[in-house]
Amino acid sequence: MSNKYMVLSTYTDQTLDRKADVLKQLVTAVPAGEKPSFGIRMYIGEESLGIEWYKGKNELFAENAAENYVQGIKNYERV
């Protein structure tokens, strides 16, 4: 997955010290015939843990994942 993306929104929870940015892959980084992917970059404090991309999913899916992450419902899992 390309690292060319834009940040659409940011979700935070100060109690858990979590933050998640909702990302959209830039059109210039998308192979011909494919739609841009959405994803989230997850943080604990100021430390970026990584990005999860949701190929074939829409912006609302990524927003829900970001909200779930900052609320502690979803956790970052290294693959």
- pLDDT for res 33: 84
- pLDDT for res 19: 98
Structural domain boundaries in the chain: 5-70
Sorted by sequence, the CB contacts under 8 Å of residue 16 that are 6+ apart come out as 70, 71, 72
Task: Report the DSSP beta bridge partners of residue 77.
Answer: none
pLDDT along the chain (79 residues), means of 10: 84 95 88 89 96 95 98 87
Nearest to 23 by CA among 72, 59, 48: 59
Helices (H), 1-79: 59-70
pTM: 0.88
**Residue 62 identity:** A
